[in-house]
Amino acid sequence: MATQALKCERHGEATRLTCVECGTPICPKCAVRTDVGLKCENDAKGAELSKETLALLRPSRTPMYLGAAGVVVLLGILALVFLRGGSSNNETPTAQLPAVGSWTPVPDLVSIRGTTATVLLKDGRALAAGGGVGQQGLAAAELFDPNTGVWQNTGSLNQARRGHTAVLLGDGRVLVAGGINEGTLLDSAEIYDPATGKWTTVAPMSVPRLGNTLTLLANGNVLATGGTAADTASGTGGGQTIRPDATAEIYNVAANKWTTTSGAMSTPRFEHSATLLDDGRVLIAGGQGPPISGNSAALKTTEIYDPAVDSFRKSNDMTEARFNHNALKLPDKTVMVVGGSGGTNGDTSLATAEVFDPTTGAWTPAGALTVSRTGASAAAFSDGRVMVAGGETVTRGNRRSLDSAEIFNLSKREWQSAGKMNCPRSEASAVLLGDGSVLVVAGDFAAPGQQPDPKGCADRYHP
């Protein structure tokens, strides 16, 4: 026979529960809930939980606050990505790293000249010769002294010209050739003598050239290659009519004579690059080739000029077709090409870079720029780093000049921000000064729907 349950005298409830402290039966209404279990009223006295203990036992709101904060941060990041246009091919996370080096403004040139030819003289000064606005050439020339940071006028060219090329000769003088003035392509050439500050007209090239190259050979003569001529098939590129040319010629400085090479290049080229290799040969890379369906196509082909046999031979193709790119010889004797224009119609700027090994003839990718660039300025430092500045980002013909710069670390094979110039521009010229800084001179500012605006500004980069 079951024992009848006791009832609480106060509440009349059955004493079904037991105090964890003394074991006394208690009813549900008398039981006191503690952090160690149910107790009778006597045992529960003095065992009330402190405010601190109660606070610890309450569900914490901290995770909720942290979660809310995380959501806010995530939404902020997504909004930033959306406003910046997402993660395009033009930018990579390396753009967020601290900038390497710094830029300082240099006084503007005396004359606004847009694109110009700049050469570092043997006495450490920089010569900026010619330039102009549109197809209107400029004859003025100026000298920059790195010690005083001042530009000074020097003797004017005998022929106003824009889009010409220039090279420092072995005796310290400067040869300029070709270009355009008032819509007329030029075959004329002249030499500047720093000792007198005067220009002397020399023998003209065999054909007019624009967008060609000039390379000082090991024997002191100068190789001129390609460009646009006046009597070859025309195409369009970069908003102008071009006629890529395959001819090449040698200027004999002592004899003041141009002589056509025994063999022409295998492919007509415009806005290609020519780089003197350590063994005396010259690497010719890319450019715009003969027109295809009315448009001049970017080239990935390369060839090498050998002075010993006075002819060109084909070399291995680059991984990507390009023109109006930069080409620089590195301390390890390899050659880097970077940026430029490509695509089917040559209307898209490139962010890729690749390195040519003369011993094997192989091309190797060298990482991508954070921003695609064509018509940029570039310089190679003695420690193997490469700096690229300005240029244009071009998409289907819409051009926008850049003020940003990037530097490439050969050992790490990566690009990093090199800060910003004080003046955005493309087609500027750059020279490495004696103290290791880089002088970037003049150029054009381009924006969608606007005509290029010539600039006379200059900047100096300190790595």
| pLDDT tens for the chain, residues 1 to 463 | 333 456 666 666 666 556 656 667 766 556 654 444 556 766 655 444 333 333 333 333 333 333 444 433 334 433 433 333 333 334 344 445 688 999 999 999 999 888 999 999 999 999 999 998 877 899 999 999 999 999 999 999 999 999 999 999 999 999 999 999 998 999 999 999 999 999 999 999 999 999 999 999 999 999 999 998 765 444 444 345 778 999 999 999 999 999 999 999 999 999 999 999 999 999 999 999 987 766 658 999 999 999 999 999 999 999 999 999 999 999 999 999 999 999 877 889 999 999 999 999 999 999 899 999 999 999 999 999 999 999 999 887 688 999 999 999 877 788 999 999 999 999 999 999 999 999 999 999 988 877 788 899 999 999 9
Residue 344, pLDDT score: 76
DSSP category for residue 280: S
DSSP category for residue 85: T
Q: How far is CA 192 from CA 197, 207, 438, in A?
A: 7, 21, 22
Four-CA torsion 70, 71, 73, 77, nearest 10 degrees: 130
Residue 237, pLDDT score: 40
Bridge partner residues of 406 (DSSP): 388, 417
Strands (E) in 59-139, as ranges, are: 102-106, 117-120, 126-129, 132-133, 136-137
DSSP category for residue 345: T
Q: How is 281-311 classified by DSSP, letter by letter? A: -EEEE--EEEEETTEEEE---EEEEETTTTE
| Nearest CA-CA partner of 426 in 325, 284, 300, 295 | 325
| Nearest CA-CA partner of 227 in 170, 276, 270, 172 | 270
Neighbour count for residue 135 (Cβ, 10 Å): 16
| Nearest CA-CA partner of 421 in 126, 111, 104 | 104
- Residue 262 CA neighbour count, 13 Å, CB half: 9
Distance, CA of 259 to CA of 243 (rounded, Å): 21
| Nearest CA-CA partner of 131 in 158, 99, 163, 86 | 163
Tokens for 23, please give them: 């074991």
Neighbour count for residue 266 (Cβ, 10 Å): 15
Residue that the structure tokens 């790293």 belong to: 97
Residue 298, pLDDT score: 93
Residues 6 or more apart whose CB falls under 8 angstroms from that of 294 comprise: 235, 236
| Nearest CA-CA partner of 372 in 331, 342, 412, 329 | 342
Distance, CA of 37 to CA of 20 (rounded, Å): 6
Element (H, E) at 78: helix 62-83
SS3 251: strand
| Nearest CA-CA partner of 441 in 107, 192, 155, 185 | 107
Largest CA distance in the chain: 136
Q: What are phi and psi of 108, to 5 degrees?
A: -60, 155
Q: For CATH 2.120.10.80, list the domain ranges present in the chain.
A: 97-462
Residue that the structure tokens 């105090």 belong to: 19
Q: Which CATH class is domain 97-462?
A: mainly beta
